[in-house]
Amino acid sequence: MSRLAGRTAIVTGASRGIGRGIAERLGRDGALVAVHYGSSADAAAATVEAVERAGGRAFAFRAALDLPDAAGAFYAALDEGLAGAGAGPEFDILVNNAGASGSGRIHQLTPEVFDRLFAVNVKAPLFLVQQGLGRLRDGGRIVNISSLTSRHAYPESVTYAMTKGALDTMTLALAKELGPRGITVNTVAPGFVATDMNARHRTTPEAAAVLAAHSVFGRIGAPADIADVVSFLVSDDARWLTGQYLETGGGAGL
């Protein structure tokens, strides 16, 4: 497939899980994929290798998203990677996928965890967009990876759910703000997906079955299930779709 040929896509938190799935799919679609990671260089390299093995182009770059000037450091590292790939600073697609979790219930919350989750899940995506608008081409795409926890009660991780609610609100505002440039902004909200983030909830077959039962299909989601939806949203086929919240939970809660 080459429907994204000639385009550059940035996927944050792409070293594993949903982010890796998205990077691999966009690479197969023909985009040059900038694989962002925060700590695991080996995992990011594995993502790049998977993209290239499928005939795509990708490179990895590191930037911590919980620092005061995260956006500035992010774009400095990105520029270095783009130059190495023979590409200019402009890009067409930004997928805000990176996220921190683990706040627990209200009585378990600490100010330090609260600050970190909002820094990574809310502040970083907002300022990545702000500082990237000058290089995001007209007709570009922004996809924010949220969670069903923003629309369904999830007291097990109250702060995480709050950050995803903020991300949903950001989608609405940016969709209206950037519409005149032909830039679409949409939210994708996965349910339970088989990733490292929720591995602790799948330690036994019985526990995994409980998660699978949330979906009408009776299974836990796979990164590819989310990646395929993102692939549609960043394509020309989704040109008339913006400001939307797409539940990708396999019918969870029906």
Task: Give all strands of the β-sheet with 32-37 in edge-to-edge order.
Answer: 57-62, 32-37, 8-11, 91-96, 136-145, 184-190, 245-248
Residue with tokens 């290798």: 49
How is residue 196 annotated by DSSP? G
Tell how strand 136-145 and strand 91-96 pair up.
parallel
Say how far apart CA 180 and CA 83 lie, in whole Å.
30
One-letter identity of residue 54:
A
Active-site entry in 75, 154, 160, 245 = 160
In the residue annotation, 160 being an active-site residue is answered as: yes
Token pair listed for 14 = 């792409």
Task: Return the H-helix or E-strand segment holding 247.
Answer: strand 245-248
Q: How far is CA 82 from the centre of its chain?
A: 20
- Give φ, ψ of 137 to 5 degrees: -70, 150
Query: What residues act catalytically?
Result: 160
